[in-house]
Every structure is written in C-alpha cells, then in structure tokens.
Amino acid sequence: MSYLMQADPEVAEAILMETRRQAGKLEMIASENFVSEAVLEAQGSVMTNKYAEGYPSSRYYGGCEYVDVVERLAIERSKILFGAEHVNVQPHAGVQANMAVYFTVLEPGDTILGMNLSHGGHLSHGSPASFSGRFYRGVFYGVDRKTETIDFDEVESLAKRHRPKIIVAGASSYPRRIDYEKFRTIADQVGALVLADIAHIGGLIAAGLHPSPVPNCEFVTMTTHKTLRGPRGGLIMCKQEFGPALDAKIFPGMQGGPLMHIIAAKAVALKEALTDDFRSYQAQIVKNAKTLADELLKAGFRLVSGGTDNHMLLIDLTALGITGKEAQETLDRTGITINKNQIPFDTKGSQVTSGIRIGTPAVTTRGMKEAEIKLIAGFITDVLMHIHDEHRLAGIREEVKSLCDRFPLYPERIRENR
Ligand SMILES: *Cc1c(COP(=O)(O)O)cnc(C)c1O
C-alpha cells in the first residue's frame, strides 16, 4: 500500500480516480497535456522542502547549492531552446509571468493593448475581470469579421489612438499563426513595448514549427504545462536590459519562495524539449490538428478562420442549433473532454457560447496519429449531429474506451492503483 493510501485514503482515492479518468477518456482540451514520469518524479521530490528566495548564487538562505543546480539548468536550457537573452523560471503560473512583466514596465493606469477575450485573448491581457484590467487600462483588438484572423489595421489604429505602453501579442483560443513582426512594426510607430504571450504555442515555437517572437519582442511569457509538456508553471524571457528589473519584480516584488520542485521539473521538461523526439512530437500535434480540421470540414462543420495552423481548432455550432455548453456536456458523457468557447462576435455569453475548442497535444502524447484522429473526428461528428440519441452516445462511449485502451497512459500507475 502506498504511503498516501495509508495516510490519507480520501486524497489517495481521488488521485487514483483522476489517473483512471485521464487514461480512460480522450483529453482534447487544447491547454492540457500529459507530463512524463520523469517530470512527475522531479515534481514530487524533496525540493519542495527548500526555501530559496533570491536567485542562484544570491539567495537569502543557506543550503541552496542543489536547488541552484536545477534553477541554473532550467535557465540555461530555456536559453538554448528559445535563443533568449535573459530567463526567469520562477513564475508560479502564466498569469504571474504576465503580471511580472506589467509590474516591470507599467505604472498603474497605463494602457495595455491586448486581444479581445471573446476573439481568443486571455483574461490577463487587460480584462476588467482580472488584475490586469483593474490596475491598468485595457484596450482590445480583435479579428476581422470575414477572415477571422487578427485585424492588423485595427491593431494599428487602436495603437495610434490610445498610445499603449505595451502591446500583447498572444492568445488562448486562436487557431492561426501569429505574425510578431507586424506587431513589432506597429509598436515601433507608437513607441510601445511588445509582450508575446506564447502560453499555448510554446512547444510549437521551441520545435521551430511556428515563428519565434524572441528576436522581435522585449518580453516573451509562457506556461510550461501546455504544448511544452512540463509541470504547471510560468516562465519569462526578455531582452538583457530588462533582466535585473524583471527578476526584482518576481522576487521580492510579487512572489516569495520559488517552487523549487516545480523548477526542477521545468528543467527536466526543457531537457526533453531539446530532443528530436520532441520536435517530431510537436510536428505530429500539428498534423493531427490539420487532419481533425479537414475531417470536420468534410463532415460539414464550420471552423473559425476555416481551419488551423497550430494545435487547436474552434467549431462554430450555430448552424447545428446547439450551444457550446450542450456540446461540451454531451461530448463529456461519451468520454471526449473539450471546452465550450466563445467564437468571434459570439451572440452568446461565456457560460453558454456558440462554439467549442478542441486541441490535439494530449492525445498526440498518447501516441495517436492521423488514423486515430479520423476515428475521433467521426465520434465528434456523430455526437454533435445526434446529441439526443442516447443509444448512439452509449455506443460511442464504448468505442472511445477501446481506443483509449489501445494507447495506455501511465500504465504503471494504473497497474499499481495509484
Ligand atoms: C493559459 C494561458 C495563460 C495563463 O496561464 P496560467 O498558468 O493558467 O496562469 C496566460 N496567457 C495565455 C495566452 C494562456 O493561454
């Protein structure tokens, strides 16, 4: 019996059920992934015990010689992977990474030009529901009504009108490549800084499949747990000149002790990301997303922007007469986990929505390729076209189960009931 099962059976049981849920369903939430056993081992290590306020070689406490090793490795590996000048691996999450950048270069009341939340942007890019819209003034660009890709004429005119101190280029639900050079050109016309938030596409950029914002942007923030496939956390890259100020804003500015076990796991994930295997994994994510998009288009669905360049796609459900909420709930019952998502110019609220977002990073980690994606596209089509046909839904649940069984996830944990 495990230590945990003995000490706390309620928590142990919940973790076991979660392991089984992850293995027994198709995880297609675009922001989720499955980390390696090596990452989990580092994350579950004694480094959680260590206080290490400060940075390698200049800490406030003694005994930091080994945590220094892992933090240095994480920094060096990110520099190699992304070609960054300065890296801070301490942000607890993606939002903290963005917060640190704002604290570094903005004063309260300054203007942030970010992407409209309902067009694909993120709460932390100036939304009134987030600190970023309470301390700062959020102004928002969106996508063009026809192409559903970023409307750079609008970015430019808003930049000229509002003179933002920082322009945020990045999104949570945008299926197309982002042109950082265009953001740079516009920012230069109005003297703005550019923050590229690559939370979702960090892995694709690390693998060289999407253009890197590092040369064109003063700041690049990311999460380490989405396509990058590391532990839950944040990371910031910036130009050397901003490095010392940025580090001081993370600590002591807004965080206390860094999560050294997570930083150790970040180092492990970054080492994995430097391999050829990781590059082929990222390429397969994109191939899988394209295959899924093609199959869904053939089945008659409308996709926002007509397709995808990355790891995700957005289905507009309006013509089917169902909401994103209904689609999410029904797909979940058949073992396909996705999320409801607003589409550009949505007429429904964020709790109902006219769309759903589907991503391929996690199923690709399990080893699924085009053939399996075609099966999955068939399941999704069947479910969404027959949302009230309980008999059919039960059949699909069985098929999803047997597909999952063919691609084991955390097999040792499943075998050992942990
Ligand atoms: C996911 C995401 C974040 C937030 O990351 P957390 O780790 O959840 O704080 C920030 N920006 C973008 C664009 C994201 O997609």
Measured from the Cα of 125, ligand 1's closest atom is 11
Instruction: Indicate whether 262 and 286 sit together in one domain.
Output: no
Cα separation, 48 vs 304, whole angstroms: 43
Instruction: Indicate whether 241 and 119 sit together in one domain.
Output: yes
Does 69 map to a domain? yes
Q: What tokens appear for 118 in the block?
A: 């309902």
Q: Is 299 in the pocket of ligand 1 (CB under 6 A)?
A: no
389 vs 158, 325, 384, 385, 395, CA distance in Å? 48, 17, 10, 9, 10
Q: Is 199 in the pocket of ligand 1 (CB under 6 A)?
A: yes
Quote the longest CA-to-CA distance of the chain.
Answer: 65
Instruction: Indicate whether 183 and 231 sit together in one domain.
Output: yes
Instruction: Indicate whether 265 and 291 sit together in one domain.
Output: no
256 vs 46, 55, 251, CA distance in Å? 18, 12, 6
Low-confidence ranges of the chain (pLDDT < 70): 1
Distance 94 CA to ligand 1 centre (A): 5
Rounded to 5 degrees, what are φ and ψ at 351?
-90, -10
Does 316 map to a domain? yes
Domain end (from 228, 256, 273): 273
Q: Which amino acid is at 354?
A: S
Q: In what order do the strands lie in the sheet with 355-359?
A: 302-303, 312-316, 355-359, 339-341
Question: Residue 320: which domain range?
Answer: 277-416
What share of residues in the chain are helix, strand, coil (percent, to 5)? 50, 15, 35
Does 208 map to a domain? yes
Q: How many CA atoms lie within 13 A of 230 on its CB side?
A: 33
Distance 199 CA to ligand 1 centre (A): 6
- Sequence-distant (≥ 6) Cβ neighbours of residue 373 within 8 angstroms: 288, 291, 292, 295, 360, 363
Measured from the Cα of 198, ligand 1's closest atom is 13
Q: Is 357 in the pocket of ligand 1 (CB under 6 A)?
A: no
Does 13 map to a domain? no
In 191-260, beta strands by DSSP E:
193-197, 219-223, 234-238
**CATH number for 406:** 3.90.1150.10
Instruction: Indicate whether 268 and 284 sit together in one domain.
Output: no
Q: Three-class SS of residue 416? A: coil
Q: How many CA atoms lie within 13 A of 251 on its CB side?
A: 19
Does 14 map to a domain? no
pLDDT score recorded for residue 1: 64
Distance 134 CA to ligand 1 centre (A): 18
Cα separation, 215 vs 197, whole angstroms: 14
Does 234 map to a domain? yes
DSSP class of 129: T
Measured over the CA atoms of residue 248, residue 252, residue 257 and residue 262, the dihedral's sign is negative
Q: Three-class SS of residue 111? A: strand
Instruction: Indicate whether 85 and 208 sit together in one domain.
Output: yes
Q: Is 124 in the pocket of ligand 1 (CB under 6 A)?
A: yes
pLDDT score recorded for residue 298: 98
Q: What tokens appear for 244 in the block?
A: 């010392």
**CATH number for 205:** 3.40.640.10
Distance 221 CA to ligand 1 centre (A): 9
Find residue 37's DSSP bridge partners: none
Helices 152-162 and 180-190 meet at what angle, rounded to 10?
Answer: 20
Does 33 map to a domain? no
Q: What tokens appear for 132 in the block?
A: 């970023």
Instruction: Indicate whether 269 and 281 sit together in one domain.
Output: no
Active site positions, annotated: 51, 53, 197, 223, 226, 232
Instruction: Indicate whether 254 and 112 sit together in one domain.
Output: yes
Instruction: Indicate whether 356 and 400 sit together in one domain.
Output: yes
Does 101 map to a domain? yes
CA proximity to 141, closest of 110, 96, 174: 174
Q: Three-class SS of residue 358? A: strand
Domain end (from 273, 290, 325): 273
Q: Is 288 in the pocket of ligand 1 (CB under 6 A)?
A: no
CA proximity to 26, closest of 375, 325, 311, 352: 375
- How many domains are there within the chain? 2
pLDDT score recorded for residue 197: 98
Q: Is 93 in the pocket of ligand 1 (CB under 6 A)?
A: yes
Instruction: Indicate whether 288 and 241 sit together in one domain.
Output: no
DSSP per-residue letters across 1-28: --HHHHH-HHHHHHHHHHHHHHHHSEE-
Q: Is 170 in the pocket of ligand 1 (CB under 6 A)?
A: yes
Domain end (from 216, 242, 273): 273
Q: What tokens appear for 316 in the block?
A: 């507009």
Instruction: Indicate whether 115 and 222 sit together in one domain.
Output: yes
Measured from the Cα of 95, ligand 1's closest atom is 9
Instruction: Indicate whether 334 and 193 sit together in one domain.
Output: no
For 244-274, write each residue's pLDDT tens digit: 999 999 999 999 999 999 999 999 999 999 9
Q: Under a CB-based contact definition with an 8 Å cutoff, are residues 227 and 285 in contact?
A: yes
